[in-house]
Amino acid sequence: MSQGISASNLVEPPFVQRPALTTWRAYLALTKPRIIELLLVTTIPTMFFAAGGFPSAKLVILTLAGGTLAAGGANVLNCYIDRDIDALMERTAHRPSATGQISGRSIVIFGILLSLLSVLVLALTVNHLSAMLAAIAIAFYVFGYTLLLKRRTTQNIVWGGAAGCMPVLIGWSAVTNSLSWAPVILFMIVFLWTPPHYWPLSLHYKDEYAAAGVPMLPVKESPLEVTRQILIYSWAMVATSLILVPVAHTSWLYAISATLFGGLFIYEAYALRNRVRKELADVKPMKLFHWSITYLSLVFLAIGIDPFIR
C-alpha cells in the first residue's frame, strides 16, 4: 500500500454521537447524492433509447433503484478510504467520514450493505447481466480508482472515470439483456467526457489536491498542458458522439444536438485555454466544469427523445 492509504488506516477522526436526524443526513451525504443524480441522467435516456420508446415503468424504477444503491455503496466506501485526504481539503472537509460524525466501522458496513443490496436487487428483479455490470462498477471504483490509481498517477480520473460510465451499460442491458455497439459508444462518450469535466474542477482546487498529496493532472502539469489535454479529450468526445448517428441510425434531432452542444463544449474548452495563455489571475475553469454537466444532460436528453422522433 502507498503511504497515503496507510495513513488513512491509522488516522481515525474522533467519533462524535449525533441526533438521529443529523446522523441520517450524514449517512445520505456519504452516498454523494449529486454524483448519483448525474449518473441517473445517463441511465434513463439510455433505457428509452434501448427500448426504442417507453420501457416498462417498473423496469425503470427497479434499474434506477439498483443503480442508485450501487453508486451510493461505491461512494460510501470511497469516503471511508479517502477520509484522511478529505480532511485536508476545504471542498471535502465537511464529509461525515472526515469529521468523525460517523465511525469508520459503520461507514464500511453501510457501504458494503448498499453494494451487496444493489447487486441483489438487479439480479432478482432486472437480470444477471445488469447485476454483474453493477458489481464490476463498484469493484473498479473502490479498488481500481480509489485504492490503486487516485494517489499514484495523474491519469487517475481518466481510467477511474470508467466506473462512472457503467450506468449506461447497466441501463441498456436492463432493457435488452445484452450489449451491442450502440451502448459501447454511449459508454465511450461518458468516458471521454470525464477528463474535460473533472480537470477544470481539479484545476480550480489544485492547491488543495497538492496539499493532500493527490497527483491530479493540474498538480503535476502546467495549466497550459492541462488545457491541451482537455482539448484532446473534448474533440475525441464530440467525434465519438457523432459516430452514434450512423451506428444507431439516430434521428436528425440527435445529430443536430450532438453537433451543436459538442461545438459549444469545444468553444468553452478553447476559451479556457486562451484565458490560461493570457496568464489571467483567474482563468475561471469552473465555467467549463459547469457547462460540461449541462452538455452531458442535453446530449442524453436528445438520446432519450430520439426514438420518438425516429
125 and 15 together in one domain: yes
CA-based end-to-end distance of the chain: 52
199 and 96 together in one domain: no
Instruction: For residue 108, give the H/E element and its range.
Output: helix 104-125
Q: Contact 220/80 with Cβ under 8 angstroms?
A: no
Rg over CA atoms, the chain: 20
281 phi and psi angles, rounded to 5 deg? -65, -40
**Kindly report the CA angle at 88 between 86 and 89, in degrees rounded to 5?**
70
Q: Which amino acid is at 19?
A: P
Number of independent structural domains in the chain: 2
> Domain for residue 161, yes or no?
no
Query: How far, in Å, CA of 68 to CA of 160, rounded?
Result: 18
Question: Which CATH number is 51's domain given?
Answer: 1.10.357.140
Query: How far, in Å, CA of 150 to CA of 252, rounded?
Result: 40
Query: How far, in Å, CA of 137 to CA of 52, rounded?
Result: 26
CA atoms lying within 13 Å on the CB side of residue 110:
24
Q: How do the residues of the chain divide into helix, strand and coil, expressed in percent and rounded to 5?
A: 80, 0, 20
Supply the pLDDT for residue 2. Answer: 39
> Domain for residue 308, yes or no?
yes
> Domain for residue 243, yes or no?
yes
pLDDT, tens digit only, all 310 positions of the chain: 333 434 444 455 555 555 667 789 999 999 999 888 888 899 999 999 999 999 999 999 999 999 999 999 999 999 999 999 999 999 999 999 999 999 999 999 999 999 999 999 999 999 999 999 999 999 999 999 999 999 999 999 998 889 989 999 999 999 999 999 999 999 999 999 999 999 999 999 999 999 999 999 999 999 999 999 999 999 999 999 999 999 999 999 999 999 999 999 999 999 999 999 998 888 999 999 999 999 999 999 999 999 999 8
Q: How many CB atoms lie within 10 A of CB 24?
A: 11
Q: Which amino acid is at 299?
A: V
Q: Helices 181-204 and 223-248 meet at what angle, rounded to 10?
A: 160
Q: Helices 286-309 and 252-277 meet at what angle, rounded to 10?
A: 170
149 and 210 together in one domain: no
Query: How far, in Å, CA of 303 to CA of 165, rounded?
Result: 15
Q: Which amino acid is at 228?
A: R
139 and 206 together in one domain: no
Question: Which CATH number is 224's domain given?
Answer: 1.20.120.1780
Q: Which amino acid is at 127?
A: N
> Domain for residue 149, yes or no?
yes
Query: How far, in Å, CA of 46 to CA of 283, rounded?
Result: 35
Q: Which domain holds residue 122?
A: 1-155+168-175
13 and 138 together in one domain: yes
CA-closest candidate to residue 168, choices 232, 239, 241: 241
Residue the block writes with cell 503511504: 3
Give the global pTM: 0.91
